[in-house]
Amino acid sequence: MAKSFDVSKFRKDLTKSISGMSSGFNDPTDWISTGSYALNYLISGDFHKGVPLGKVTVFAGESGAGKSYFCSGNVVKHAQDQGIFVVLIDSENALDESWLQALDVDTSEDKLLKLNMSMIDDVAKTISTFITDFKAMDEEDRPKVLFVIDSLGMLLTPTDVDQFNKGDMKGDMGRKPKALTSLVRNTVNMIGSLNVGLVCTNHTYASQDMFDPDDKISGGSGFIYASSIVVAMKKLKLKEDEAGNKISEVMGIRAGCKVMKTRYAKPFEGVQVKIPYETGMNPYSGLIELFEKKGLLTKQGNRLKYVNLAGEEVLEYRKAWMVGEKLDLIMSEYDEKTAPVVNTDEVDLEQATVDQIEEATANE
């Protein structure tokens, strides 16, 4: 009689003998809001989640597009609200304490460690040293930690520094893209089974390809492949007053966000989030447009109509829909409203197989 295969022993032997290997699934258990319900949904498929721990998330865009506002501001603030310790690595020497505090970031030492670094090698060593010490701790003593790098695009390689010192500013022979790819790949592998996350900002440049007009993210394709979630951002001018009336003066930015890569929702979906200079971002910004696109809000004259699950109509002007309670209602009913409808006349749900239900849904 053949001896049964001892899976537990095999798993234990593998994880002991192969460095950096873990077994089982590493689905995210902790999510951090971006501060925008619409962007949260496009990234995670949930209005209240956002970016996960255990993964690498990149926000890439041109200067002034709102990358730091989301990553070093909103994400850090919401992480701290959940008791997550934040290590903020500033490579641009641009994150002033007063600016962070204005975004409700707690800059006290027990909540935030801010490091100023310019070298990719130093960032890699910092993360590697932290993970080594983190793994040496008992599991119940390990804190939840989020690394934020703002930004990857400003980090230097030893070649950059050497050429600057010699006054011979040639190209880096592709070393920087390789170094960034290596940094992200190694970090993804190290944090996958831990309650540690990495959120980065990066730069983009205009596409020269008429068939693919989206801005290109610096750092090379390998860096993008290694990242778990990629959000491309574009800076647009906000020319409207507090009441939503069109004016000629620029009152803020419209952050055009397109989720280029995610495993938790449909990719290549976009939203425009308004960030007025005076008041900051309304977390509901972009939701009305998202719900219109999904067919939940429909135009009726110069107003927008929503039919709730009870079959009751809610008819309001666009400005009135920005009141949180109304949009909260749609978010709470969203999954049921957008779920496929099964034809129960043709399929007995108590007896139906999965294939029958899928077939009935497809016919609908």
pLDDT above 80 for 159: no
Average pLDDT of 241-259? 89
Checking if the pLDDT of 336 tops 80, the result is yes
Q: What SS3 state is found at 315?
A: strand
What pLDDT is attached to residue 361?
Answer: 47
Residue of higher predicted confidence among 340 and 348: 340
Ranges 46-60, 79-93, 218-232, 280-294: which has the least confidence: 218-232
Residue 47 corresponds to which tokens in the numbers above? Answer: 């209005």
Listed range (45-59, 287-301, 320-334) with the worst mean pLDDT? 320-334
Q: How far apart are CA 7 and CA 16, in angstroms?
A: 14
According to the model, what pLDDT value does residue 245 have?
82
pLDDT, mean of residues 18-34: 75
pTM: 0.83
| % of the chain surpassing 70 pLDDT | 79
Query: Which pLDDT score is estimated for 100?
Result: 96
- The DSSP letter of residue 3 is P
Among the residue ranges 65-69, 223-227, 273-277, 315-319, the one predicted with the least confidence is 223-227
| Structure confidence at residue 78 as a pLDDT band (50, 70, 90) | very high
pLDDT for res 220: 63
- pLDDT of 96 reads 94
Strand 303-307 to 298-300 pairing = antiparallel
Q: What does the pLDDT read at residue 283?
A: 95
Across residues 189-215, what is the average pLDDT? 79
pLDDT given for residue 357 in this prediction: 41
Whether residue 7 is predicted with pLDDT greater than 90 in this model: the reply is no
Q: What is the DSSP letter of 141?
A: G
Residue-level pLDDT at 243? 72
Residues comprising the chain, all counted: 364
**Per-residue pLDDT averaged across 135-141, rounded?**
90
Q: What integer pLDDT is reported at residue 13 of this predicted model? A: 60
pLDDT for 259 equals 95
Residue 122 — very low, low, confident or very high, per pLDDT cuts 50/70/90? very high
Answer whether residue 207 shows pLDDT above 70.
Answer: no
Confidence at 157, pLDDT banded by 50, 70, 90: confident
Can you say how many angstroms the Cα of residue 113 is from the centroid of all Cα atoms in its chain?
Answer: 21
Residue 349 confidence class, pLDDT cut points 50, 70, 90: very low
Closest CA to 261 of 304, 231, 295, 305: 231
Q: Is the pLDDT of residue 352 over 50?
A: no
CA dist 107 to 69, 103, 150, Å?
Answer: 15, 11, 16
Average pLDDT for 148-167 = 81
Closest by CA to 77, choosing from 43, 42, 36, is: 36
Q: What is the mean pLDDT of residues 236-259?
A: 90
Residue 350 pLDDT grade (very low, low, confident, very high; cuts 50, 70, 90)? very low
**pLDDT grade for 32, boundaries at 50, 70 and 90:** very high
Q: Which of 104 and 2 is assigned the larger pLDDT?
A: 104
